[in-house]
């Protein structure tokens, strides 16, 4: 149901303006430039949509942004310059790859920190598993009732297998 | 009358759940067998009552009883029967009843199949399962009662979006729920083991089949959802890193880790406290997904149950379940005895690596999903975390995971020879190299990531095959001996091979369609031809048709390759006058190694042509084919006879009688 409703939202958005994402009239004649435009579009969020890039979205605003991106490219901007231009105008929210700065350090470095801590934990654990090699491994102690129970279950299973 | 019976049954189910959560627990603490035994009939009774409630709601949908508010809001008398039935769970209230039904189903399944569990553990598992039931039944009755009546009843319902009346969507939620809720049972096992104060290899063995059931269902549920997105949303996207998708991916990742760590508990009596924690966290992530989607914190445009009261109630349940079990964990986990030993380079060591990477991946998805919410709540700036973030953080974690995946099963337990294992994988290395060379030849070196991805896919697939060939000593002993060995292998070993190979296939699909898709977006007139990836799409005609409850503009494309007709595609653009909605229906022709995908767009303003989008998606069907293979792997594993008897035996010696002393530390191999 969860996904279902995200998709419902997507669908409703599609219905809001029944045209498909990138339109033929938007495309640039130069295939290399158009390819760069598509690449940049995937980095930019359609601001009025739930979680779509402007490349996937049919909303009017997404179209405006796609056209803007292409205008900047035709004007000779590099990919970074285009992204900076759009970022300056629309703020952080438009970037699907959030900028790295103190506020987002947790986001960008969090996974690496988790990996380091978990990795250190795993290393310590693995060392412990090896170091104690001479220690006596202790395990579950079974009560006599449990031993009897296991024996009974095993006997039953064997019986089943034979039949 | 029948809705009232359903309502009443729900109240009875709540009472039974209360009994189920209290009496067996007290009985187990005091050694009172009669009280412990109450858990079983209570679980059956709860299942019966919830089934009655669910059946009553479904009946109201089937007969279109619009005096029930829930039906009036979500159904229509003219809706096809399949969607009347699936409409039962196509809304917040109904889906909660489905949740509770699955919960009761798992509780009753433990009561039924748990004959080989120690009586106290079984009583405690049922009690914890009962507690979760109490929480969700209270939530349903208190905030989301589906049996509320309307007076006067409307003449007809408000219907469901016609787009959502789709077979893929009808069955997507039940599987997803079976997965989510299945992890409630591993949670109950973990909590019960903590109350018991004992985790041993037998516990690992008991918990694994349930984890397998939940994992296989969740895999299928996620796959169905992404398949629907692929064919319905009109551009062939299948995964969007949407928070709602992430909500289902996180329990899947954690559950996959759990599936593997439980093996170490079972075989080596180690990694116990971690496995318990993982079981708790997996269910907590399932609950968190529920909270995120139903509370409205994720997005303001969510049409689904955006109700703060419900959100707070689910948050309360989440905090209670997670917090309570973590406190229990903090109290009891340190006293769990550490068991068997193994060297870092060993099958167990590989499984630790698997858990390290999978839990980091889970954390990465969690951070990426929650960070914008937390930052916003703390007054920071509004940011978007989209596919570029996950591609940069999640994907690099998957590369070592898949690389190790092929090697792990070839390592011996306790202490292994890494060089030897790699040496035995020479065939997989060679075949992977061949595949990469093929990719270079066919698609060039433009995308290095795609080459790495396809290498990973081939490595996972061929690694799994080689591992199986090694096990049955294929080509080294006479074929008949190999076949005998294959038949003698435990189903668990086959399950591993199948699931790992399936993941390889799925990865190939993901890489293929992401990196090598060809598309053409253009205006076409009847008679025009467009070429995409060597396939000629000829638009033969566009006609307007009236079908049932919609009007459709249907295009006919003939697809040719080297002059020979490959397929005829009929993409449509539909108009539903009653619902006042327009939908696009993509037409897909699959050749098994790729899909041809055509979408008909609007008529151009001068009326002479149509906007069309044509795609060639290489390998894309493999995503879902591979997923299904993974599910099959899970089911084959589930059929392992070791799970039917709760006693571990020596590692993988199937066909022989298990040794009675198997529960003690593993004998040297």
Nearest to A8 among B303, B573, B582 (CB): B303
Structure-block tokens of residue A80: 């970074």
Torsion of CA B306, B309, B313, B319, to 10 degrees: 80
User: CB B245 to CB A6 under 8 A?
Assistant: yes
For residue B69, is pLDDT > 60?
yes
**Cα–Cα distance measured from residue A52 to residue A46, given in angstroms and rounded to the nearest whole number:** 6
Which among B66, B58, B19 has a CA at the least distance from the CA of B40? Answer: B19
User: Same domain for A91 and A108?
Assistant: no
Domain boundary among A84, A99, A114: A99
**Taking a contact as any Cβ pair under 8 Å apart, which residues of chain B between 649 and 668 contact chain A?**
657-658, 660, 663-665
B558 forms beta bridges with B538, B568
User: Same domain for A23 and A63?
Assistant: yes
User: Which chain A residue's Cα is nearest to B391?
Assistant: A97
Q: How confident is the model at residue B604 (pLDDT cuts 50, 70, 90)?
A: confident
User: CB A10 to CB B233 under 8 A?
Assistant: yes
**Cα–Cα distance measured from residue A124 to residue A121, given in angstroms and rounded to the nearest whole number:** 5
Angle between helices A79-90 and A31-41 (to 10 degrees): 40
**Taking a contact as any Cβ pair under 8 Å apart, which residues of chain B between 497 and 536 contact chain A?**
521-523
**Cα–Cα distance measured from residue B222 to residue B227, given in angstroms and rounded to the nearest whole number:** 9
User: Same domain for A28 and A87?
Assistant: yes
Task: State the pLDDT at residue B588.
Answer: 94
Which of the pair, B398 or A49, is modelled with greater confidence? B398
User: CB A149 to CB B248 under 8 A?
Assistant: no
User: CB B163 to CB A139 under 8 A?
Assistant: no
For residue B305, is pLDDT > 60?
no
Task: State the pLDDT at residue A10.
Answer: 46
**Total domain count, chain A:** 2
Mean pLDDT of B68-79: 84
User: Same domain for A25 and A93?
Assistant: yes
Task: State the pLDDT at residue B660.
Answer: 35
Q: Are B89 and B97 in contact (CB under 8 A)?
A: yes
Q: How confident is the model at residue B602 (pLDDT cuts 50, 70, 90)?
A: confident
Task: State the pLDDT at residue A131.
Answer: 59
User: CB A1 to CB B353 under 8 A?
Assistant: no
User: Same domain for A57 and A133?
Assistant: no
User: CB B243 to CB A154 under 8 A?
Assistant: no
Of the ranges B85-94, B115-124, B314-323, which one carries the lowest mean pLDDT score?
A: B85-94
User: Which chain A residue's Cα is nearest to B223?
Assistant: A3
User: Same domain for A77 and A133?
Assistant: no
**Cα–Cα distance measured from residue B571 to residue B553, given in angstroms and rounded to the nearest whole number:** 9
Half-sphere exposure of B470 (CA within 13 A, CB side): 23
Which of the pair, B234 or B640, is modelled with greater confidence? B640
Q: Which domain holds residue A17?
A: 2-99
> Mind telling me how many Å the CA of A76 is from chain B's nearest CA?
23
Domain boundary among A99, A131, A153: A99
User: Same domain for A20 and A95?
Assistant: yes
Task: State the pLDDT at residue B664.
Answer: 34
User: Same domain for A67 and A136?
Assistant: no
Q: In b/e form, how buried is each residue of B587-601, taking b as 16+ CB within 10 angstroms?
A: bbbeeeebbbbbbbb
Q: How confident is the model at residue B644 (pLDDT cuts 50, 70, 90)?
A: low
User: CB A107 to CB B235 under 8 A?
Assistant: no
User: CB B235 to CB A42 under 8 A?
Assistant: no
SS3 string, B501-522, reads HHHHHHHHHHHHHHHHCEEEEE
For residue B623, is pLDDT > 60?
yes
User: Same domain for A108 and A82?
Assistant: no
Please give the full DSSP string across B332-384, using - where no structure is assigned: HGGGSPP-----SSSHHHHHHHHHHHHHHHHHHHHHHHHHHHHHHHTT-----
Q: Say if strands B581-585 and B610-618 run parallel, antiparallel, or are unpaired.
A: unpaired
Which among B517, B648, B666, B601 has a CA at the least distance from the CA of B203? Answer: B648
Of the ranges B275-289, B402-416, B575-589, which one carries the lowest mean pLDDT score?
A: B575-589
Q: Which helix (H) or strand (E) holds B560?
A: strand B550-561
Q: Where are the beta strands (DSSP E) in B604-665?
A: 610-618
Using the Cβ of B166 and the Cβ atoms of chain A, whether some distance falls under 8 Å is answered with: no
Q: How confident is the model at residue B129 (pLDDT cuts 50, 70, 90)?
A: very high
SS3 string, B118-179, reads CHHHHHHHHHHHHHHHHHHHHHHHHHCCCCCECCCCCCCCCCCCHHHCCHHHHHHHHHHHHH
List C-alpha distances in Å: B312 to B56, B137, B519: 28, 15, 46
Mean pLDDT of B118-123: 92
Q: What rounded mean pLDDT belongs to chain B?
A: 87
Domain boundary among A99, A120, A146: A99
Phi and psi based region of residue B299 (left: phi greater than 0; alpha: psi -120 to 50; beta: remaining): beta
Q: What rounded mean pLDDT belongs to chain A?
A: 78
Task: State the pLDDT at residue B457.
Answer: 96
CB atoms within 10 A of CB B69: 19
Task: State the pLDDT at residue B155.
Answer: 80
Of the ranges A94-103, A136-145, B160-169, which one carries the lowest mean pLDDT score?
A: A136-145
Query: Residue B226, Cα to own-chain centre: how many angstroms?
Result: 11
Q: Which helix (H) or strand (E) holds B557?
A: strand B550-561
Collapsing DSSP to helix, strand or coil, B229 comes out as: helix
For residue A13, is pLDDT > 80?
no
User: CB A137 to CB B665 under 8 A?
Assistant: yes
Judging contacts by C-beta atoms under 8 Å, the chain A residues touching residue B349 are: 126
Q: Which CATH number characterizes residue A81's domain? A: 1.10.8.640
Q: What pLDDT digit, counting tens, does each position of A102-140 carry?
A: 999 999 999 999 999 999 999 999 888 875 544 444 444
Task: State the pLDDT at residue B75.
Answer: 83
Task: State the pLDDT at residue A20.
Answer: 56
Task: State the pLDDT at residue B162.
Answer: 65
Structure-block tokens of residue A92: 């952080």
List C-alpha distances in Å: A124 to A119, A131, B151, B352: 9, 10, 66, 12
User: Same domain for A89 and A111?
Assistant: no
User: Same domain for A117 and A84?
Assistant: no
**Cα–Cα distance measured from residue A147 to residue B202, given in angstroms and rounded to the nearest whole number:** 12
A110 forms beta bridges with none
User: Which chain A residue's Cα is nearest to B293?
Assistant: A2
User: What is the percent of chain B with per-residue pLDDT over 70, rounded to a whole number?
Assistant: 93
Mean pLDDT of B395-404: 94
**Cα–Cα distance measured from residue B250 to residue B363, given in angstroms and rounded to the nearest whole number:** 8
Judging contacts by C-beta atoms under 8 Å, the chain A residues touching residue B381 are: 91-93, 103
Q: What pLDDT digit, counting tens, does each position of A25-47 carry?
A: 788 888 888 889 988 998 998 88
Which among B104, B134, B116 has a CA at the least distance from the CA of B23? Answer: B134
User: Which chain A residue's Cα is nearest to B292?
Assistant: A2
**Cα–Cα distance measured from residue A85 to residue A100, given in angstroms and rounded to the nearest whole number:** 17
For residue A18, is pLDDT > 50?
no
User: Which chain A residue's Cα is nearest to B573?
Assistant: A18
User: Same domain for A29 and A87?
Assistant: yes
Q: Output the pTM of the full model.
A: 0.88
Nearest to A106 among B240, B371, B664 (CB): B371
Task: State the pLDDT at residue A25.
Answer: 78
Phi and psi based region of residue B549 (left: phi greater than 0; alpha: psi -120 to 50; beta: remaining): alpha
Structure-block tokens of residue B520: 């053409």
Task: State the pLDDT at residue B108.
Answer: 95
Angle at B575 between CA B91 and CA B589, to 5 degrees: 85
Cis, bond preceding B270 (omega within 30 deg of 0): no
């Amino acid at each position: 149901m969860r996904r279902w409703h995200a998709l419902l939202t997507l669908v409703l958005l599609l219905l809001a303006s029944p045209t498909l994402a990138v339109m033929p009239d938007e495309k640039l004649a130069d295939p290399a430039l158009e390819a760069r435009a598509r690449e940049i579009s995937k980095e930019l969020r359609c601001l009025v949509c739930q979680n779509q890039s402007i490349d996937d979205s049919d909303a009017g605003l997404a179209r405006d942004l796609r056209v803007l991106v292409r205008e900047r490219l035709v004007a000779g901007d590099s990919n970074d310059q285009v992204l900076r231009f759009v970022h300056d105008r629309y703020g952080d929210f438009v970037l699907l790859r959030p900028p790295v700065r103190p506020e987002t350090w947790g986001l960008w470095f969090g996974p690496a920190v988790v990996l380091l801590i978990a990795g250190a934990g795993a290393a310590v654990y693995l060392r412990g598993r090896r170091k104690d090699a001479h220690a006596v491994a202790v395990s579950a102690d079974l009560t006599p009732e449990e031993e009897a129970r296991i024996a009974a279950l095993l006997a039953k299973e064997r019986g089943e297998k034979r039949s | 009358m029948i809705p009232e019976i359903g309502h009443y049954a729900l109240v009875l189910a709540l009472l039974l759940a209360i009994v189920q959560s209290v009496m067996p627990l007290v009985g187990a603490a005091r050694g009172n067998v009669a009280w412990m035994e109450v858990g079983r009939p209570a679980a059956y009774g709860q299942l019966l009552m919830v089934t009655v409630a669910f059946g009553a709601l479904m009946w109201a949908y089937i007969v279109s009883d619009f005096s029930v508010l829930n039906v009036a809001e979500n159904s229509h008398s003219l809706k096809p029967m399949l969607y009347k039935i699936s409409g039962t769970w196509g809304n917040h209230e109904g889906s909660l009843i489905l949740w509770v039904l699955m919960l009761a189903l798992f509780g009753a399944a433990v009561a039924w199949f748990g004959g080989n569990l120690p009586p106290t553990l079984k009583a405690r598992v049922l009690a914890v399962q009962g507690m979760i039931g109490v929480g969700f039944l209270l939530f349903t009755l208190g905030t989301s009662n589906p049996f509320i009546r309307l007076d006067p009843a409307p003449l007809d319902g408000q219907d469901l979006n016609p787009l959502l009346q789709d077979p893929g969507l009808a069955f997507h939620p039940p599987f997803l729920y079976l997965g989510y809720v299945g992890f409630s049972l591993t949670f109950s096992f973990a909590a019960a083991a903590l109350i018991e104060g004992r985790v041993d290899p037998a516990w690992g063995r008991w918990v694994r089949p349930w984890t397998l059931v939940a994992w296989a269902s969740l895999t299928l549920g996620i796959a169905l959802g992404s398949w629907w997105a692929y064919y319905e949303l009109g551009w062939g996207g299948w995964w969007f890193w949407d928070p709602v998708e992430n909500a289902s991916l996180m329990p899947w990742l954690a559950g996959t880790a759990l599936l593997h760590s439980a093996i170490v508990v079972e075989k080596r009596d180690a990694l116990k406290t971690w496995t318990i924690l993982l079981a708790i966290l997996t269910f907590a992530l399932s609950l968190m997904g529920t909270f995120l989607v139903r509370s409205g914190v994720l997005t303001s445009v969510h049409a689904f149950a955006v109700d703060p009261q419900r959100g707070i109630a689910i948050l309360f349940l989440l905090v209670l379940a997670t917090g309570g079990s973590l406190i229990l964990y903090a109290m009891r986990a340190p006293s769990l005895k550490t068991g068997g030993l193994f060297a870092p380079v060993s099958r167990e060591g590989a499984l630790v690596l698997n858990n390290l990477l999978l839990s980091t991946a889970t954390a990465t998805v969690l951070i990426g999903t929650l960070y914008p919410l937390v930052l916003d709540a703390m007054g920071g700036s509004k940011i978007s975390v989209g596919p570029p973030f996950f591609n940069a953080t999640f994907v690099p974690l998957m590369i070592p995971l898949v690389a190790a995946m092929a090697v792990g099963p070839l390592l011996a337990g306790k202490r292994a020879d890494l060089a030897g294992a790699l040496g035995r994988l020479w065939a997989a290395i060679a075949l992977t190299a061949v595949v990469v060379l093929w990719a270079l030849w066919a698609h060039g070196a433009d995308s290095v990531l795609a080459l790495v991805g396809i290498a990973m896919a081939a490595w996972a697939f061929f690694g799994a095959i080689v591992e199986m060939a090694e096990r049955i000593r294929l080509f080294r002993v006479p074929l008949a001996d190999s076949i005998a060995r294959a038949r003698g292998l435990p189903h668990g070993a086959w399950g591993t091979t199948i699931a790992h190979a399936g993941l390889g296939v799925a990865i190939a699909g993901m890489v293929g369609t992401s990196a090598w898709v060809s598309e053409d977006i253009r205006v076409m007139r009847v008679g025009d031809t467009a070429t995409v990836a060597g396939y000629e799409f000829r638009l033969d005609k566009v006609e307007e048709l009236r079908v049932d409850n919609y009007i459709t503009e249907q295009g006919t494309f003939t697809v040719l390759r080297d002059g020979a007709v490959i397929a005829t595609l009929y993409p449509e653009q539909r108009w539903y006058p009653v619902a006042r909605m327009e939908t696009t229906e993509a037409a897909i022709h699959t050749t098994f190694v790729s899909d041809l995908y055509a979408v008909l767009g609007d008529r151009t303003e001068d009326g002479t042509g149509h906007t069309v989008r044509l795609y060639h998606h290489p390998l894309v069907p493999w995503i879902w084919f591979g997923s299904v293979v993974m599910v099959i792997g899970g089911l084959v594993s589930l059929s392992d006879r070791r799970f039917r008897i709760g006693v571990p035996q020596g590692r993988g010696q199937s066909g022989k009688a298990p040794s009675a002393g198997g529960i003690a530390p593993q004998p040297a191999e």
